[in-house]
Amino acid sequence: VGSNKVEISILQFADDTIFFGEANMENVKIIKAILRTFELISGLKINFAKSCFGAFGEFDLWKQHAANYLNCRLLVLPFTYLGIPIGANPRRCRMWDSIIHKCERKLAKWKQRHISFGGES
């Protein structure tokens, strides 16, 4: 992006966007420019009250400064994205509890509809 060819990757699903890049203020400024350009071109407004900024391995003060620059909240780890805990320890059984519970509920509903007992259909 830009004349310095800054690499920023994105992940999008429905109306969610996650930007990935090196944690530095230059990238934060570029992300803000991208978001502002999107608003100007599309006529849509980004709800920064629902937006978060996060960075791995950076000082809390720097992360808060970047979040303030973007006018959004600071992301707290772990967080959930598309039902998957991000930033949690995957070795802990507790991290998987919500995913397992959700799968069990869906499987129970599926079994009720599709598995017959004793040849009944």
What is the tens place of the pLDDT at every residue in 64-101?
999 999 999 998 888 888 878 888 888 888 888 888 89
52 three-state secondary structure: strand
Which pLDDT belongs to residue 86? 82
Note the pTM of the prediction, 2 decimals: 0.65
Q: How far apart are CA 76 and CA 91, in angstroms?
A: 20
Rg (CA), the chain: 20
Please indicate whether residue 2 or residue 4 has the higher confidence score (pLDDT): 4
User: Distance from CA of residue 22 to its chain's centroid?
Assistant: 17
Question: Residue 36: pLDDT band by 50, 70, 90 thresholds?
Answer: very high
pLDDT, tens digit, 9 for 90 and up, residues 99-114: 889 899 999 988 888 8
In the chain, where the domains are located: 1-76, 81-121
The values of phi and psi at residue 54, to 5°, are -145, 155
Helix axes 25-42, 60-69, angle to 10 degrees: 20
**Helix (H/G/I), strand (E/B), else coil: 43:** coil
